[in-house]
Structure 1
């Protein structure tokens, strides 16, 4: 039984009670994924599994045999950050930074949801296209809390990424 983490296959832990979060942090030493509330209420532990965002504290690692898991470490590096990571820096979409990995993983998957036309509770027309409006972004990111209150900057970073431009490119 194996799981692919950021493109690398890993054997699942021997203890079937190990959460995906603890497997990532303690067994694989991928500490970008944070343990916040450990109850699925804060979103700090958000990772992407088979293209869907999940709270890794609420799932057992053993449930992910054959799955593709992407953590913040798999989205970009300090030398080559993703467009969303760049936008978070440009817009100061973090303060203490604790929730940032979960915010970025959730936003990455959320942008795919919008690109695929999946409606949310904030989507006005279920038959039309879905746009990355501020209201749509706020609704879809409501499961990811930021105790520092950087929400306006987080929304701006996501909106910019959805538009496909960065503040630096726009100023050039």
Structure 2
């Protein structure tokens, strides 16, 4: 966990594949600990073809059944089906500029400047708007809290405490 937070969490992710992976993992994390998802990350990558959007978008019923048998991942039918649907929705966004453009368009104009952990929100007006924009385009498991976690993890917002050695380093 520490290595993830020190080297990856909060660093800007601007590629379709990178954002689709993080969106998918955040959806699978819903109701579980992030440590569980990180331990299974490589298995998720293998099961979902490296989170290649086009490959996942082409998954069918046989793939859903295969994934439900994969003990290396979280075997939740709703989340698996949502991930496949989210891949299709991601591909459909390409004519509009793509998933990166949509997610990054919700970056707050005024950066958050938390001084204590209690000042770090669990959602913001921007994460509420992002969740609504994604749902309107057919995405699932994209609630405001989950989208805020995505925004933090991918560098869209920086919630490191003022004075942190990593604040603003990306």
The two structures have a TM-score, normalised by structure 1, of 0.30
The two structures have a TM-score, normalised by structure 2, of 0.30
Which has the larger helix fraction?
A: 2
Which has the larger strand fraction?
A: 1
